[in-house]
Structure 1
């Protein structure tokens, strides 16, 4: 890491305002875009064991992915993580997560309709073809059958080796987070009123967790949590997760980042960034790298990355897009959601992950949010096609308005003695 003089907190605050929160007064406001990252957990169709990226014997996903890539004109490139990545013709990128989870990062799209089409054009045939080779790609929040001891680190690059050392030093569930969880992360533009959207997205985070919970099972048994993935994230100590009260949005995020221990640290131990800065050991490049190792429910990156949803099945991809963009990108819906939610409540994340929509308060608010989002989406026909709205409405009718999430289907299957 670079040696440098002490960084002025005012300079760090200004950097966050301009580059993370898009608050520069000269920044032009483009038409809103939307993006997503979807993660899939590969497991053996026979044994349920998580399938590695590469293996000397037995199934592995990289040969299958290469074969698929050749047929679909993907370009293979090296990556800094020790395994290749694949660039798709539409600009999407396929990479691996530390446990071998497959991640598709779709390009930023001018509409939710275009994004859903982009995601499904890759994910649906990939699921089908890998299944033919004995590999199931699961769209759930955590690998349900096996413990972390069955999933070694799959990425030998420096970032994840160091992150593993950090997680082991803390003694938390961080390794499970890295190697066994999967999510659907939605990227949204901040637009003309960034702090209003930031506040609503942070207030929505617990409800997004509850609505799309799909990880109630771990090691083959119910965990007591609708989203065990959310619990694993809460157990990740080190002050780098959660949501925010938004009383002073940028200042609050600065304090959060300064207090968080540095993973890619310039010396022994994992001291907070503010301590390394006090010692004059870090520069702006180190600051920007540090920001990429923070994992709040909503992460500011010049746009907002909403990280609260468990992995979502492909047939329901439109639902989280409608929920988030249908509110944020339609000014009357944004105001209605702000009035409904009030101040963000970070403590609500616990009940949202544990109880999901079985908590009556969460269920009632979630149903109202769904209604607001559908109204907002219907007012933006150029951004949401009718099929997107119909799909989201069906999801909300089947699950949210019945105080259910996909996690309840999994629990019902266990109760009925149907294999998960």
Structure 2
């Protein structure tokens, strides 16, 4: 899980103006490694902001910045003209399509987006993004407010679907997991328990 990585590089990007929040995040996260000719060094506790300000024996280059951005692992990471949702590649088999379809519907369909906003609004009033991320990663759909919001978001995304095969995939996933308050982790625990 990405939370096992240095939290300064894996926690959610703070709320606020997206560009400013991402820049602050990238500058304030600790440097994973400084690449050098023939060797890499791992400066303890050095942030990129400190490195740019001259708090290290060499100055960062544009290549260092490009590499730096590949070492940041928030749950949602900006990648040029799109957002990388870090959980999608964790879905087995063909189920990867479900988070793609749900996210696309909630971003692109105005009705689904408004329903998702309304479902998520109560969560934002009571917790910061990092707190919600931790609750989602640990309690998941056993957390009743998160479970209600997830069910509403899945229903909104499902109603936005016009392709019967895609709608069926969303329905199957929602029935197997969301409406039952289960996650893929429950399958893994059941297989080993």
In structure 2, the residue matched to 1:256 is: 25
Q: Tell me which of 69, 85, 101 is aligned to 1:322.
A: 101
Question: Against the structure 1 CA distance between its residues 287 and 341, is the aligned structure 2 distance closer, same or farther, given a 3 Å change threshold?
Answer: same
Structure 2 residue matching 1:247: 3-state secondary structure: coil
Distance in 1 of aligned mates of 2:83 and 2:115: 20
For the 8 Å contact 2:112–2:156, the answer to whether it is kept is: yes
Q: Tell me which of 292, 295, 307 is aligned to 2:86.
A: 307
In structure 1, the residue matched to 2:184 is: 406
For the 8 Å contact 2:88–2:100, the answer to whether it is kept is: no
Distance in 2 of aligned mates of 1:390 and 1:403: 19
Q: Which runs of 5+ in 2 are unaligned?
A: 36-40
Q: Indicate whether 1:286 and 2:64 are aligned.
A: yes
In structure 1, the residue matched to 2:74 is: 296
Q: Indicate whether 1:332 and 2:111 are aligned.
A: yes
Structure richer in strand, relative to its length: 1
Distance in 2 of aligned mates of 1:289 and 1:249: 21
Structure richer in helix, relative to its length: 2
For the 8 Å contact 2:31–2:47, the answer to whether it is kept is: yes
In structure 1, the residue matched to 2:174 is: 396
Distance in 2 of aligned mates of 1:377 and 1:234: 33
1:310 is displaced (CA, Å) by: 6.8
1:414 is displaced (CA, Å) by: 4.1
Q: Indicate whether 1:355 and 2:134 are aligned.
A: no
Number of positions where the alignment pairs a residue of Structure 1 with one of Structure 2: 178
1:407 is displaced (CA, Å) by: 2.4
For the 8 Å contact 1:351–1:359, the answer to whether it is kept is: yes
Q: Which digits, 9 at most, give the CA deviation of each residue in 1:10-30, with x for residues without a partner? A: xxxxxxxxxxxxxxxxxxxxx
Question: Against the structure 1 CA distance between its residues 349 and 244, is the aligned structure 2 distance closer, same or farther, given a 3 Å change threshold?
Answer: same
Structure 2 residue matching 1:334: 3-state secondary structure: helix
Q: How does 1:5-154 map to 2 (within 5 A)?
A: none
Q: How does 1:134-283 map to 2 (within 5 A)?
A: 229=1, 233-237=2-6, 239-265=8-34, 269-270=43-44, 271-279=46-54, 281-283=59-61
Distance in 1 of aligned mates of 2:169 and 2:68: 38
Distance in 2 of aligned mates of 1:386 and 1:265: 50
Q: Which runs of 5+ in 1 are unaligned?
A: 1-228, 379-384, 416-420
Question: Against the structure 1 CA distance between its residues 282 and 348, is the aligned structure 2 distance closer, same or farther, given a 3 Å change threshold?
Answer: same
1:374 is displaced (CA, Å) by: 0.8
Q: Tell me which of 346, 360, 371 is aligned to 2:155.
A: 371
Supply the RMSD in Å over aligned alpha carbons: 2.2
Q: Which has the larger radius of gyration?
A: 1
Distance in 2 of aligned mates of 1:358 and 1:277: 43
Q: Which digits, 9 at most, give the CA deviation of each residue in 1:354-384, with x for residues without a partner? A: 2221222221111111001112233xxxxxx
Q: Which digits, 9 at most, give the CA deviation of each residue in 1:28-75, with x for residues without a partner? A: xxxxxxxxxxxxxxxxxxxxxxxxxxxxxxxxxxxxxxxxxxxxxxxx
Distance in 2 of aligned mates of 1:268 and 1:362: 38
